[in-house]
Amino acid sequence: MRQRFATSALFVLALVLIFVPAATTAVGVDSTAYRNAVSAAGMQTHLQQFQNFGQASVPAFGHPTRVDGSVGFTQSVDYVVQQMTAAGYQVRVQPFTFDRFEETAPPVFQRLTPTQQTYANGTDFQTMDYSGSGNITNARLVAAGGIVIPSPGGSTSGCTAADFNGFPAGAVALIQRGTCTFREKATNAKNAGAVGVVIFNEGNVDPNDDRLGVIFGTLDPPQFDRPVIGTTFAAGRDLYNLLQSGADVRVNLSVTAHVVSTQSANVIADTVGGRADRTVVVGAHLDSVDAGPGINDNGSGSAMLLDLAKQMSNLHISPTNKVRFAWWGGEEFGLLGAEHYVSTLPKAELKNIALNLNFDMVASPNYVRFVYDGDGSATDTKGPSGSGAIEQAFLDYFASQGLATEPTAFDGRSDYGPFIDRGIPAGGLFTGAEGIKTAEEAAVYGGTAGAPYDPCYHQLCDQWPANIDLKVLDQMGDAAADVLLQFAMATSSPNGTNKASGNAQVSTEFKGSKLRK
């Protein structure tokens, strides 16, 4: 972390604006003063507070957490409100209620015949979020149509009613992951008379996600009315091969779960000035998973936003366009806060959003500097028009500092999802989650090849200070400050027009951290 120095407000007001064509919208603002003010030292203060708030949840949860519905989350909301109010922003809390999925007993999946096997929860299988409850014993397992092993990718197993022709009522359905959502597969199985559903991973190699391991999936609300689990490819393949051999496969399947009506909130802080018809929304999610206090995921992004906002105020920067800092609730349950925000905006206000910048996990211990691939040139997942200009602004900044970057796809894993669904350009930064660092990446960024970018992802050990890399947090904070300032001072939207609409346009693979299909 490099040394910071104080800069006068007069210097900031004297920033020279060098305009370039509207197609890029970046105006060439000198961001030096802003970048020098935004620091890892400033962010550390907020990270320590988030850790303290997580500790406040121990009496109720048995461990520190800032999950929605906990004291830790409520204290985080109150803290952000206090910080932003003191900094002079127009602050509002946007409450919303959602059904939080909870399992109240460990799930069970066992094969009884032709040989016995007990599958391990979390290793061989996992309950789908919003699965129904049920205790199914000695039920026949029957495969749906469309299963292909080995899979070339694009399996349609269970995607149509025809895949269940002749399916015996009262059986458990075995379905292969593929092109349609888990909810669609489970619904088709239910309509055919299935009492439970087992969806196994597809088995092909896919560079964008794991098609071999356990499926950590969601059915999306509302809660389904029968148990649904996701398994590894190996577990599903072995069951399917037994069925193909003519064996009578019998299973036990048990899930005990319910939903809890939970009060959550978004915190939204607007600059006093700036053009409202070109609002720049800068977001990060404030909640953690149940398992831990979420200091990298996403205390790091939340702390970055706090410092970005506070230093913008301290330097008396008057943006050309309104800047809206937003801390979202309910991200870990499916981007619920960001979705509530965009879905409840009047159409005219939705059209006023010029772009969304998203910062989720920006201090991973075994990091890579990832930039969202706005133009789809590297990941084949293109964002709405203008997203490429946002990506380029980040790439230009990192290049100016001699820092390498890698592209990451718009796969629906963070709060940009509801924005790109409605045609709003988006971009942002990410330093890696459960993905494995390659030898090539380790050669460039250091760290450990063959290990996760964040070894504590969604675990209790995601705590301050052990699970934060201050060096990359400082680098990401500088990049965020530079790009935010460019678009805050821009004279047009990044796509040159206002194309946002209230209609969802993108069907993403993920809903937050959970797979949808």
Q: Which residues form the catalytic set? A: 331
Q: Which residues, in sequence order, are CB contacts of 246 under 8 Å at separation 6+?
A: none
Nearest to 356 by CA among 478, 469, 268: 268
434 three-state secondary structure? coil
C-alpha span between 457 and 453 (Å, rounded): 9
Structure tokens at 348: 């005219």
Q: How many helices (H) and strands (E) does the chain have?
A: 14, 16
The residues, ordered by sequence, that sit 6+ positions from 229 with a Cβ below 8 Å of its Cβ are 107, 109, 125, 126, 127, 128, 131, 197, 198, 199, 253, 255
Count the Cβ atoms, other than its own, within 10 Å of residue 158. 31
Cα(397)–Cα(294) distance, integer angstroms: 28
Q: What is the DSSP string of 448-472?
A: -TTSBSSTTTTSTT--TTTT--HHH
Pick from 507, 84, 26: which is nearest to 313 by CA? 84
Distance in angstroms (rounded) separating the CA atoms of residues 479 and 476: 5
In this structure, are residues 282 and 484 in contact, taking their beta carbons and an 8 Å threshold? yes
Let me know: does 65 contact 291? Beta carbons within 8 Å. Answer: yes
DSSP code string of 192-237: TT-SEEEEE---S--TTS-SSS---BB--SSPPSS-EEEE-HHHHH
